């Protein structure tokens, strides 16, 4: 699964730590999601999208192999 979290963080001037605090996870979790090492749960993906005020399909995209 691809994502645009890093881009959205830049647009919103948020660090990984700040985003993590807003959704009650660790900075390492945000880093792992950005690096595609961890696929977030539906609830976590929705929380991330709520911070950015974006629909899920504008932040997360399935790859052809998904």
Which of 2, 44, 53, 54 is CA-nearest to residue 23? 44
pLDDT in tens, 3-48: 999 999 999 999 999 999 999 999 999 999 999 999 999 999 999 9
Please, are residues 46 and 40 in contact by the beta-carbon 8 Å criterion?
A: no
Within a domain: residue 65? Answer: no
Within a domain: residue 26? Answer: yes
Beta strands 2-3 and 60-61 are: antiparallel
Q: Which domain holds residue 37?
A: 2-52
CATH number of the domain at 6, please. 1.10.260.40
Domain count, the chain: 1
Within a domain: residue 22? Answer: yes
What pLDDT does 23 receive? 98
Within a domain: residue 28? Answer: yes
């Amino acid at each position: 699964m691809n994502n645009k979290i890093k881009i959205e963080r830049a647009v919103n001037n948020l660090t990984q730590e700040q985003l993590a605090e807003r959704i009650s996870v660790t900075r390492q979790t945000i880093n792992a999601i950005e690096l595609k090492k961890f696929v977030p749960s539906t609830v976590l993906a929705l929380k991330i999208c709520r911070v950015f005020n974006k629909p899920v399909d504008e932040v997360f995209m399935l790859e052809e192999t998904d």
